[in-house]
Amino acid sequence: LTSCLGNTKEEVADSLFNAKSGITFSEEYAKYGIRSNVRGRPDLSVAEIKELVPRKALRFMGVNAQYAYISLQRAIDDAGLKPEDYQENPRCASILGQGGTSISDVTEAVGAVEDQVKRWPSKVGPYRVTRTMGSTVSAVLSSAFKLQGPSFSISSACSTGAHCIGVGMEQIQLGKADMAMA
């Protein structure tokens, strides 16, 4: 569990009980002229993220994928799953997504292209590309967790998570998977 309401079940329960929304003003959104300057972002420091996400996987991840990695690892831990239950298991689906890519990752990639138009392919590089894809979360997490079953991304704004869970359930109902990471 990683959310703007808290990073543990207890923190989220406390936020809900005390009517804390977790929604905050975003200076970044205001800076880029986005009309809505509010967001719900997990409260994790860069140091905490570096502690929770392996360095080898981290270089491919934008902010959204970092939060998703932490959430998936915590869900696996909460479910009591062992690596042999899901790693390299062709019956473990990976139905993951994000409502949108990180604004900072996109603007960073655009800036690299604008600054070095003649050399942009070498300037953008493979790590920056994976951070800005619409399928970043499913691509990076499937690789990091060695998931080999059906895998694809869903992006449906604020309902992305609910849709991922529903489609994961359908993969099981259709007999395409025995379990689903969603």
Q: How far is CA 174 from CA 34, 53, 147, 166, 169, in A?
A: 41, 33, 19, 12, 9
- Summarised one tens digit per residue, pLDDT across range 40-69 is 999 999 999 999 999 999 988 988 999 999
Q: Are 106 and 166 in contact (CB under 8 A)?
A: no
CA 105 to chain centre: 13
Q: What architecture is the 83-181 domain classified under in CATH?
A: 3-Layer(aba) Sandwich (3.40)
Interacting residues of 13 by C-beta distance below 8 A, sequence separation 6+: none
| More confident call, 35 vs 102 | 35
pLDDT at 120: 58
Q: Where exactly are the structural domains of the chain?
A: 83-181
**Chain segment 7-42, per-residue pLDDT in tens:** 999 999 999 999 999 999 999 889 989 899 999 999
For residue 125, pLDDT over 80 is answered with no
Neighbours of 121 (CB within 10 A): 10
Lowest average pLDDT, out of 69-78, 92-101, 130-139, 166-175, goes to 130-139
Q: CA-CA distance, 169 to 142, in Å (whole number)?
A: 18
